[in-house]
Each structure stands twice: as structure tokens, then as C-alpha cells.
Amino acid sequence: MNIQDYGLSFGSLKPISKNNIKRVVIHHFGTGKGYTIKDAHRDHSSSSRNHAGITEGLGYNGAVDIDGTKVKGRMWNQGAHCRGYNRDSFGVVTPGNFNEETPSEKVLQSMAEFTAFVLTECGLEVNKKTVVGHRDLGSTSCPGDNFDMDAFRDRVKKVINGEEEEEEMFEPSYRSLREDTIDLLEKWSSDEQRNPINKEYAEKVKKGEATNSDVIAALFSAIKRGDIL
């Protein structure tokens, strides 16, 4: 998995063994989106800038940026993100305040991938004890009321099981519609100006192997080439 290095430099950190990690703790910053990972790193590098007195740099082990980029935090060193649980937890944070807004699909997916990576590295399964929100361990609303931990655990499970969203197959309800589609696809590939790939799509439709995306792509390609008008 690709975890970007934003070049954050940390003070003296204590390594943690993967064998000792019992859970991944999910956080939000709880601030507006303008507050970045680098801002948090700066604030966690000076005790005068945060009430928790964190001084060694970004207190989280990992982060996911607003565009879904996975970012290195303290990684396999002890974090400072969840009082009483820092020695045996891996904290992953993302910018935003999910009491106010809803996490984006991109961010959720990257958080799930990061979490799945950590669980796999540590030999842990997904359950209510191994994947938790900060609020499950302390008196805080973090990672926000709109961050659904059950749905998130399901998403992590899917990542671990390698399940991808099933592509919907092209299955018109009438035989004639299916035949018309095949006819058109064949017509659209009948000479050199037309797209030869449509012949492959026609074959796929015949065998029932075409997805809706295949047929939509062929349609747009035909519109662009002026085959339809």
C-alpha cells in the first residue's frame, strides 16, 4: 500500500511492536477542513499550541488527507491520540468535523484501506474491539456523529476480503432489446472509421458477459463518432 511521506519530522518517539497493537482508533480533527495535517503536526510540535501538551509531532500514527491520500504519521511508534490507549493502539486521523459534515467516499475508502493494512500487519481481525472510534474509549464525540463505525467496519472487512463492488451486468428485460443492441454494436464496428472494439462488445452481449458500463461506453463512443445520427 502506498503511504505518502509528507516529510513531517518527529521528536523522540518510542517504537511499538506490531504484536502489542490491539486496535485501530479512528479520529477526525474536529475542526474545519482548512485545518490540515501539517497544521496539526505544527501544533503537536509545541506544547504551547495544544492543551494535551503533545510536543513530539503529529500525535497520530497515520492520516488520510482530504483527497484520500494516505499519509505517514508516527507509524510504528507510540502515538499521542487517545489517553490511556496510546501504547497499544494505532491512531488514524482525517481533517474535518464530522459532527457538522459527512466524510467523503474517498476519505472513507482510504481510511478503510489504511485500517485494513494495519490490522493485517498486526494479525488482527475486524470487530468492535479492533476497529473503534475515539469516542468508544474516551469522553469525546470524535470522529463525529456522522462517522458510522459499523458501516466503517463493514467497509474494512470488504477491503480485507478483496471484495469489490459487483459490476452490474447488461441484462435487458426483452430479447428484442438485446438483439437490437447486438445489431447496433455490430453496425458501429462495421468499417474502419467506426470503433472496432464494438465488435468485442457485441460478442460480450451475445454471451451475456457485458456490463452496463461496457454498453454505456460503446454508446458514448458511437455518439462521439457520429455513428448514431
Q: Which of residues 111-150 bind Zn ion (CB under 5 A)?
A: 134, 142
One-letter amino acid identity for 7?
Answer: G
Minimal distance, residue 97 CB to Zn ion, in Å: 11
Q: Quick one: which of 23, 27, 70, 153 contacts Zn ion (CB under 5 A)?
A: 27
Check if the beta carbon of residue 65 is closer than 8 Å to that of residue 56: no
Q: Is 74 in the site for Zn ion (CB under 5 A)?
A: no
- 3-class state of residue 37 by DSSP: helix
Choice between 44 and 204, CB closer to Zn ion: 44
If phi over 0 gives left and psi between -120 and 50 gives alpha, with beta otherwise, what is residue 123? left
Cβ neighbour number for residue 147 with a 10 Å cutoff: 25
Start-to-end CA span in the chain (Å)? 46
Minimal distance, residue 62 CB to Zn ion, in Å: 13
Q: Is 41 in the site for Zn ion (CB under 5 A)?
A: no
Choice between 26 and 119, CB closer to Zn ion: 26
- 3-class state of residue 119 by DSSP: helix
Minimal distance, residue 183 CB to Zn ion, in Å: 59
Count residues near Zn ion (CB under 5 A). Answer: 3
Q: Which stretches of the chain bind Zn ion, using CB under 5 A?
A: 27, 134, 142
